[in-house]
Amino acid sequence: MSNFTAEFIGTALLILLGNGVVCNVVLQQTKGNNSGWIVITLGWGMAVFVGVFTVANYSGAHLNPAVTIGLAVAGVFEWSKVLTYIIAQMLGGAFGATLVWAFYRQHIKVTTDQNLKLGIFATIPAIRNYMNNFFSEVLGTFVLVFAVLFIAEPEIRGSQLSGTEFGLGALGALPVGLLVLGIGLSLGGTTGYAINPARDLSPRLMHALLPIANKRNSDWSYAWVPVIGPIVGATLAGASYWFLQ
């Protein structure tokens, strides 16, 4: 399996299961309706686990443009591969979001709250304050990327490696899933912790394009926050890791 295919599949699985648990909790007439934030954060942690476990041995399972950029800044991933990974991740995110829509379309149809319909695709801040929201995404992504770098096997730290060599491996899937669970429980209450441009921008675009009944606008005025924030946080994490080596 190529790096591109692996990142596409892994990111699609991430979004299918991650956005899928949001659908199960917030949409009307689902079995999991109103089951709460703990279910959402646990579901996202498991989504990360499945995505990483599935493709870790093929691409390193970044599944996140911010992670890819952070690893490159840290000096443990080749810059020449960054664009290929990001394109695969964004396309995988769009495909995963489309599968979520197809799977839950009947429940989307009977749900009247337009914000809930947007929220199953993209993040919406609890209190809209762009600078505070931006800081939340920066810090959440910093924790993600910084911790991922130190979870990696000691023998590959500080090395300039290709995508198939650098990565957590399948055994690293569980620690990363638990890491994302922890971020969601502790730091997710302000913005919904996108911490991944492919998790927010690609599904937001699909919200705009798909024939969703009675939908609102896709809130493009906020869309820069869960894209630029994670990139800044990942860059700071990568630079910090590099400095500490």
User: Residue 167: its pLDDT value, please?
Assistant: 56
User: For 143-146, which contacts have Cβ atoms below 8 Å and span 24 or more sequence positions?
Assistant: 143/179, 143/183, 143/187, 143/237, 144/66, 144/67, 144/179, 144/180, 144/183, 144/195, 144/233, 144/234, 144/237, 145/66, 145/67, 145/70, 145/71, 145/233, 145/234, 145/237, 145/238, 146/237, 146/240, 146/241
Nearest to 126 by CA among 192, 32, 45: 192
pTM recorded for the entire structure: 0.94
Q: What is the Cα–Cα distance from 156 to 168, expressed in whole angstroms?
A: 10
pLDDT averaged over 10-residue windows placed end to end, the chain, 245 residues = 96 98 98 97 97 92 96 92 97 98 98 97 98 98 95 54 51 89 98 98 98 96 98 97 90
Residue 130: left if φ>0, alpha if ψ -120 to 50, beta else—which one? alpha
For residue 93, the domain's CATH number is 1.20.1080.10
Q: Provide the residue range defining the domain that includes 173.
A: 3-244
**How much is the pLDDT for 245?**
81
pLDDT for res 172: 76
pLDDT value of residue 160: 46
DSSP class of residue 171 equals G
- The string of pLDDT tens digits covering residues 74-132 is 988 999 999 999 999 999 999 999 999 999 999 999 999 999 999 999 999 999 999 99
Task: Indicate the number of domains in the chain.
Answer: 1
State the pLDDT at residue 163.
42
**Please, which residues have CB within 8 angstroms of residue 132's CB and are 6 or more apart in sequence?**
190
Residue type, 175: P
